[in-house]
Chains A and B, each alone.
Chain A
Amino acid sequence: MAIKRGVSLYSYQQEQFFGRMTWKDMFREVKEDLHCDGIEIIDEATIHGYPFLSEQFVFDWHNELARYGLKAVTMDVYLDPMQFRDHVMNHDEAAERLKNDIVIASRLGFSNVRCLCLVPIDVIEKALPTAEKYNVRIGKEIHMPFPINAGHRRTSYDGPGSIPVNVNMCTEIMELADRTGSKHVGLVPDMGIFQDRPSQVRIDYELRHAKNPESIYFIIDNRTKMDPNELYAKYRERYAPDILDPMTLNSLAMTDSCADPEELREVVPYIVSIHGKFYNMTEIEGEPGHYEDKAIDYRRPFEVLKEEGYEGYIDSEFEGQRDQQDRGEEYLVDEVEQVRRHHEMMTRLIGK
């Protein structure tokens, strides 16, 4: 047994947007070119008529899985507390959405649902009996800037306007699993937690749109020299009012990953599946046909996962397209090629 490869159809969002690939075309690519069998979806991207399922879609879905011998690994589910607009959902309402998503995942044959960092732990606990009943595991995503370990040094601006980060999130999930004895709650690490520098496609996008490009260079040049909060304060002082929001700033200012690969060891028993996040696969200098994402460390986390005996799925999650959609069609990135390169890398790192 070894680490298994899969693809989140999120990776082909641009192809879907332009109507060039349907989910069935993506299935074929996964099987016939990438030679793997794991499928992950975004519920609100793939399921027509969400949050309701049609009998025809369910039959069609299972038929296509059978056609290509694929496995429905993880369905990514969301929480929009503003849905009702006249109030912010309470936690019971949030749990109702999650329960409905679990039932949908079960009917489509998924083993897991991925829920987001900002979903409160008690919402997950409220939905846990449903997860048990339908035999679907809830995996809480560990997404940048959330750390694995609460003691990890701060790596991004965390003042007003930033995402409220619960640094104890992973511990709380592991405690919930241990306290309830449930195998139906765990974690979905996103490889973006091992990103230690801004991706070039991200930098280029902001350079094209900044009123004062010097302000972008200020962030890039000073990101390793200042604490993130100090950097944001100085940036604001110099360039307001034409400044980036804090979350966009964080995507440019990163200088250190929000987790160390070694920290994966303690969470491996709780991993439901993994997001293979990447932005830009380029050929490794001097190694024709071998690819890497220069912004994200894959090598050391893969070593740790192998040493710890992780045998679950890592599903490609390509995210670089969004930074290349502000110009003509000739600048759009080839998602299919990017995912193929990512699988070259994963296959090589998994090894024999």
Chain B
Amino acid sequence: MFDQYMVRKDSLENVTEGGRTTGFRMGVRIADYRGCFLPLHNGYYLEVDGVFYPREQQKFAINGKAPRSFAEISKAVWEHWDFDAEGMLYVEKEGGLAPGEHVVRIQQSVLASYGYMPMQEEWVKNPPVPGGGAGSGKTHVVCEYHLMLKEEN
């Protein structure tokens, strides 16, 4: 669902902290028809220009809070990601991305379900690693975007 619309196309930009470029970020929506309890959001399979960025290098900003790792997100059990709300996916990359167009391949992992399923006990111990389709919510394919990096102000 929303394969070509989950990532906002004009949102890719570098992140600068204390004068140093430490990574990049992009605006994302939940690729579903409903929001979810926030801890169900389990990160992204993410590839930019052929380089893989594992979940450990990702943070997610939502609900007016500073970016949090997905380990922290998994503990926010009474927060909700509303269907209408855009979150910001932060990715660590020293020096950020080069100016110009980038090819982003992405799959969102949301562990929402319709009730009890056999794999859930296993997922408590070993959450699925995004990318293989398991835990990918409503979009089982890896979606590809061609995004222009926003110019710095």
Contacts A84-B77, A322-B1; A116 near B83 (Cβ below 8 A): no
Contacts A78-B114, A80-B40; A42 near B33 (Cβ below 8 A): yes
Q: How far is the CB of B48 from chain A (nearest CB, A)?
A: 20
Whole-angstrom CA separation of A59 from B11 in the bound complex: 35
Q: How far is the CB of B57 from chain A (nearest CB, A)?
A: 21
Whole-angstrom CA separation of A16 from B121 in the bound complex: 34
Contacts A44-B83, A45-B83, A78-B34; A119 near B115 (Cβ below 8 A): yes
Whole-angstrom CA separation of A245 from B112 in the bound complex: 17
CB-based contact A51/B80 at 8 Å = yes
Cβ of A86 < 8 Å from any Cβ of B? yes
Whole-angstrom CA separation of A86 from B124 in the bound complex: 6
| A88: nearest chain-B partner, CB-CB | B120
CB-based contact B4/A328 at 8 Å = yes
Cβ of B143 < 8 Å from any Cβ of A? yes
Whole-angstrom CA separation of A43 from B121 in the bound complex: 26
Whole-angstrom CA separation of A49 from B80 in the bound complex: 7
Contacts A45-B35, A325-B1, A325-B4; A82 near B114 (Cβ below 8 A): no
CB-based contact B2/A325 at 8 Å = yes
Q: How far is the CB of B128 from chain A (nearest CB, A)?
A: 11
Report B-chain residues with C-beta under 8 Å of the C-beta of A118. 113-117
Whole-angstrom CA separation of A164 from B133 in the bound complex: 19
Report B-chain residues with C-beta under 8 Å of the C-beta of A50. 35, 80, 82
CB-based contact A83/B77 at 8 Å = yes
Whole-angstrom CA separation of A248 from B141 in the bound complex: 11
Report B-chain residues with C-beta under 8 Å of the C-beta of A328. 4
Q: How far is the CB of B43 from chain A (nearest CB, A)?
A: 13
Whole-angstrom CA separation of A10 from B1 in the bound complex: 13
Query: What does DSSP make chain A's interface, helix, strand, loop or mixed?
Result: loop
Whole-angstrom CA separation of A86 from B40 in the bound complex: 11
Q: How far is the CB of A161 from chain B (nearest CB, A)?
A: 9
| B115: nearest chain-A partner, CB-CB | A118
Cβ of B37 < 8 Å from any Cβ of A? yes
CB-based contact B140/A42 at 8 Å = no
> Interface residues of A toward B: which range?
35 or more
CB-based contact B113/A82 at 8 Å = yes
CB-based contact A326/B111 at 8 Å = no
Cβ of A79 < 8 Å from any Cβ of B? yes
Query: What does DSSP make chain B's interface, helix, strand, loop or mixed?
Result: loop
Chain B residues 123 to 153 lying within 8 A of chain A, measured CB to CB, are 123-124, 127, 133, 138, 140-141, 143
Report B-chain residues with C-beta under 8 Å of the C-beta of A244. 140
Cβ of B92 < 8 Å from any Cβ of A? no
Contacts A50-B35, A118-B117; A82 near B1 (Cβ below 8 A): no
CB-based contact B39/A84 at 8 Å = yes
Whole-angstrom CA separation of A13 from B31 in the bound complex: 11
CB-based contact B116/A81 at 8 Å = yes
Q: How far is the CB of A100 from chain B (nearest CB, A)?
A: 12
Cβ of B3 < 8 Å from any Cβ of A? yes
Whole-angstrom CA separation of A13 from B35 in the bound complex: 11
Q: How far is the CB of A23 from chain B (nearest CB, A)?
A: 10
CB-based contact A82/B123 at 8 Å = yes
CB-based contact B124/A44 at 8 Å = no
Contacts A116-B114, A118-B116 known; list 13 others, CB within 8 Å. A44-B35, A80-B36, A80-B113, A82-B112, A82-B120, A82-B124, A83-B39, A85-B77, A88-B116, A117-B114, A248-B140, A325-B1, A328-B4
Q: Which 5 residue pairs are nearest across A and B when measured between Cβ atoms?
A: A118-B115, A44-B34, A326-B3, A13-B33, A322-B1
Interface pairs (30), CB distance under 8 Å: A10-B33, A13-B33, A16-B83, A19-B84, A42-B34, A43-B34, A44-B34, A44-B82, A44-B83, A49-B80, A49-B82, A79-B114, A79-B115, A83-B37, A83-B40, A83-B77, A84-B39, A85-B127, A88-B116, A117-B114, A118-B115, A118-B117, A163-B117, A164-B117, A245-B133, A322-B2, A325-B5, A326-B3, A326-B143, A328-B4
Binding site for B on A (CB under 8 A): 10, 13, 16-19, 42-45, 48-51, 78-88, 116-120, 163-164, 209, 244-245, 248, 322, 325-328
